[in-house]
Chain A
Amino acid sequence: MLWACVLLPSLALDGVLRGQPPLMQPFALVHGSAQRRTLMAVNAAARARGLRPGQRLAEAQALCGELLTQPFDSRQRERDLELIAAWAYRYSADVLLDPPHALALEVGRSLRLFGPWPRLAAELRAGLAALGFHHRLAAAPNPCAARVLARARDGATAADDRQLRQLLRDVPVARAGLPREAAALPGMGIRFMGQLLDLPRAALERRFGPLLSRRIDALLGARPTGLRRYEPPEHFEARFELATEIHGVQALLFPLRRMLADLATFAAARGCGVQRFTLRFTHAQPPATELAVGLLSPEHRAAALFEVARLRLENFSLDQPVLEFAVRADALRPYTPPGTDLWDARSANPLQWEELVNRLRARLGEGAVHGLAADPDPRPERASLPDTADADTAVAAPASPAPRPTWLLPQPVPLSRPPARILAGPERLETGWWDGGDVRRDYYVVELPDGQRAWVYAPPGRRDGFMLHGWFA
C-alpha cells in the first residue's frame, strides 16, 4: 500500500479566490464574533503589507486601508474538500477525507495504470493547480505518516517502512501532529522524531499516557487511522456567492466557467456524463431564477458544458441583480462514447431520441410533438389519434378493403369544383349512433379536373353537395 497525502494549506482562501478573476488587492478571510473579528487567511498582497492570520481586523484595517474582506464559511471549505476528493476519486477508489484541509488516497494499486509514482505525482500536481488550489504532496505506506511527511517536506516519498522510519527521524516532534501531552517533549530535549522513536515504548506510555503511543503506532502503520472514506454523492451542487451584486450575464461567466469545470471534474471521476443541469440565480428578493440547460448527449468535457451554458445565457435576461448563483446536476448519465455500433452509422441510442424530443418540446411547446396511433372507430375523423407515443395506444385497426386517403382534413370542407370522374364508391358509413356523433355518409374517391384524387362524401343516396374529407396524396 502506498498512500498519497494531499495537504491544502490555504484551502479556504483558494476556494474563495479561484472563483474570481485574479485579485491584486490585499484580501483576507475573517472569522470570529462581530466584536472580535480576526483574520483567518490572507493572500500574498496582504501578506506583503504585513498582515498575518490571527490579527485583529481593526488592526489590519489600520495597517492597510484598502483591505478587502469576506467572512469565512466553513461549509464552503468542506464543499471544496469534497470537490477535491471527487477529483481524486478518478485516481483511486480509496480516498480518505482528513478534515479540515487534507485528504489521502491509496495510490499503490493505481500505479499500474497511471505510471510510476513520480509521474502520477506530477499529474496530481497539475490537476490541483488547474483546479486552483495550493497544495503539498507526499507519499508513505500509511495515510497518517503521509500527512506528517507532506507537512514536513513537500514531495517526500517513503516507498516502504524502512524508508519511512528514515524520513520520520528528521521530522521535528512539534510538527508531527502529536497529541497535546507531547508538548513537553522539546523541553526534555527530544526535538526530532528519531529521538522519540528510539525511546523505550513502555516507559513513554507510562510517562505520557496511551494517546501518544497510539499516535506513534499510527505513524508507523501499526494502527488503522479513523478517517472517513469518501463516497461519491449522487448529484453535484456548487454555489458561488458574489462579492457585489451582478447585473449583467457577462460578469457571471468567469465563476460559471470554474463551476462547470468542477462539474466536469466530478462527472469524469465517476465515469459519467452530464446531460442536464440547472443554474439558479438568487436575488435580493425571492423568488430565485432558474435556468435549465440540456444537452443532446451526456458530456463530461468542461469546455462543451461551458459553451452550452454560455449560449443558453446569451438568450436570457436577468431582470434583477444576482447575489449568488448555484449549479446543480441531479441525473448523471453513464457516459457512452458515441458511435457504439461499428456497422451502423446511425446509432439507435434512445437517449438521443429523448433528448431530441425534449429539445423540440422546449422550443415549440409541449403539444408540438406527438405520435400517431390508429383507433378502431369506423368514423374517419376518429381513426387517427394524435397520441403522445405512450406505447399501448397503437391498436391495430381492422384492415378496411375500401380505399382510404393518406391525408385527412381536420374539418371536411365543401368541394369547390365538380369531380371529373368517380373512381370508387359509394361506400356507405352509417355509424356512431352510440355516442351521439351520428354519421351517415356515402364516401366516393373522385378525380378532380386537374388530376387530384380526393376522398369526398355526400348525403346518403345523392351525388351532389360533395364534402372534401381527404387527399390520396
Chain B
Amino acid sequence: MVILETRGLKYSYPDGTTAVKGVDIKLKKGKRIAFVGKNGSGKSTLFLLLNGTLKPAEGRIFYDGKELAYDQASLREIRKNIGIVFQNSDDQVFAPTVYQDVAFGPVNLGYSKAEIEKKVNGTLEYFGLSGLKDKPPHHLSGGQKKRVAIAGIVAMDPQAIILDEPLASLDPVGADELLDVLHELNHMGTSLIISTHDVDLAYSWADYVFFMVDGEVIGEGTPDEAFQDDELLRQAHLKRPMTFDIYKEIERRGLAHGNRQPKTVPEIVDSLKPPELMWVEVPPETREGDILNLGVLHGEYALHCPYEAVNARVLHIHENNKAIVELTRHGIKAGGILIYDMDRFDPADFEGYMEKEEIDIVGAMGKKSKLLAEDYSICVDIATGVIDRTILMALCGKRCMILTSGGMIPHSMQRINEYIERSGIALNVRVLNEN
C-alpha cells in the first residue's frame, strides 16, 4: 500500500534555484526508504514538500490515495501523520525543557491533560529520556538532543517519519543507538524515510532506495539491485558500499561464494566458504550427483562451529570406489542467542538464567535496557551492533544473552532467524523470560 505519492513535483526557491525538478515517486507503507544523494541534491526540499510545509510550483502529492489540498484541515492531517525530523536538532527543539518540547505536538493535537501526560511520559521512557525531562536542551549532548527531537515527533503517533540526515553529527555509539530505535519504530509499523549521503547506511538499512541528483530521481530499487549498478552510482556521485566492495574483492579472488549481497559482517563471513573438495571412498553403487552423509565432525575437522554435520555431493567417480566430493557443512550445537525481556527484569531471576544457561557474553540493545543494566551493575560486553556481533560470537560457540525490551524482541528474533535461514547454520535462539 502506498502512503505517499508524488506526480511531477517541481519547486523553485524565491531566488530562482530549482531545487526539485519533476519528481514522481511512490513510497510504500511500513517500509524503510532512503533517499541517497550528495549534499545539495534536493533531498531536504523534497522532504519539506512531502509534509506540506512547502507548496510545490507544479505537481501533486497524494497522501493515502487522496490529493493534498493545502487547506488548514488537510495540512493538519498530513503533518500529524507525516512527522519530520530536521537535520539540526537546535532548529527543532525550541522549548525550555525536554518535557515541554515533547509535549508540544500532543498539545497542538488537542489531547486532554491526562492524555498528554501519559503520552509524553511513555515516549520519554521509551527513548530513555525520563531522567532528563526537566533539563533544558543546552545541557544535552548532540545524541540526546536528536532523541528529544525524534521523541517530539513520535509523541504525535505519525504513520511515517521523515528524517533528514539522521546520523549526521552523531558519534558512532549514538548513531548505533538511534538505528536501534529506528528499527524498533519500523517494526511497530511506522514507515521511515531518511535522507543520507552515507551509502553504507542506505545499503544496510533500507528496504528501498532512491538516488537523487540535482533535484531529480535518477534511479530507484531495492538496495541489492540499485547498488549493483556502477553506472548509476557514478552518475549519483556515490561510491559502492564498503561491505559490498570488500565482498566483491574477496569474490574476485575466488575466496567467496558468488552472486551474493552481504550487508553485514556476519553475512560477509558467511559468504567466505570456498567450495571444499575432497577425495573419499564411496560405496560401489554411488552415482555422480548423489548426496552422502559424512556424519558429525568436531575438533580440527569442524571449521566454523564446535560440531558440524557434513554432507558431500559426489562430483566425479574415480576408479577403486574413489570419488571427488564437494562438502557442505552445517553447524550444529553452535552457541546460542538467548533474549531476555528487560520489561520483566528481576535481578534474582536474571542471575538464575546467567548461571543455568552458562552465558558467556551479554549484549544490551535499546537505551532503556542499557540504563537498567547500568543501574543493576550488569556487565555488558556488547553495546553496539548487538545483533550482528552476537551472531558472530554464537558462531564461535559462545552462549550470548541479549537484554532488550518491547518491539525490539520480535525484531531481534526476526533478524537472527533470517540469518539462520540464509546461512543454514543452526543457532539456538529463544526468549528466556516469556510468560
A and B bound? Answer: no
Which A residues are closer than 8 A to B by beta carbons? none
